[in-house]
């Protein structure tokens, strides 16, 4: 995901290329740090976002997209999954 993927990171490492499952909490800056808001993709609502991401089927290796919803830094749901060639309108690639 692009959300929650800062290259800066903290003492746990950079916040990019991490793998999350439904229910996981995204690693992010402490609220007292200036980067808490400045590096969140949707800074008006830090910790909450909806994003289409690239995905791959573990069974057949099909190239897919998944629309992921994050609420209060928790990976809350995958609201849509489909073939990458049918990328949903309104979500940047």
Q: 91 in a domain, yes or no?
A: no
Q: 50 in a domain, yes or no?
A: yes
Name the residue range of residue 42's domain: 1-86
The pLDDT value given to residue 42: 65
- What is the C-alpha to C-alpha distance for residues 87 and 65, in angstroms, rounded to an integer? 7
Count: domains in the chain? 1
Q: What is the largest CA-CA distance in the chain?
A: 44
Q: 52 in a domain, yes or no?
A: yes
Q: 92 in a domain, yes or no?
A: no
Q: pTM, whole model, 2 decimals?
A: 0.80
Could you say which residues of the chain have pLDDT below 50?
A: none
Q: In what order do the strands lie in the sheet with 49-56?
A: 49-56, 63-71, 74-83
The pLDDT value given to residue 39: 67
Distance set, CA 88 to CA 8, 10, 19, 80, 91 (Å): 30, 33, 22, 9, 6
The pLDDT value given to residue 1: 78
Q: 70 in a domain, yes or no?
A: yes
In percent, the amount of the chain with pLDDT more than 70 equals 95
The pLDDT value given to residue 41: 67
Residues 6+ apart with CB under 8 A from 8: 14, 15, 29, 35, 39
Q: 66 in a domain, yes or no?
A: yes
Q: 93 in a domain, yes or no?
A: no
Strand segments, DSSP code E, in the chain are 49-56, 63-71, 74-83
């Amino acid at each position: 995901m692009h959300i929650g993927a800062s290259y800066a990171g903290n003492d746990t490492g950079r916040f990019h290329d991490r793998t999350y499952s439904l229910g996981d909490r995204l690693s992010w800056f402490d609220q007292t740090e200036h980067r808490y808001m400045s590096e969140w993709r949707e800074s008006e609502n830090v910790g909450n976002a909806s994003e289409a991401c690239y995905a791959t089927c573990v069974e057949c290796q099909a190239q897919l997209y998944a629309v992921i919803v994050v609420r209060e830094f928790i990976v809350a749901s995958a609201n849509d999954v489909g073939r990458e060639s049918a990328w949903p309108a309104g979500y940047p690639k």
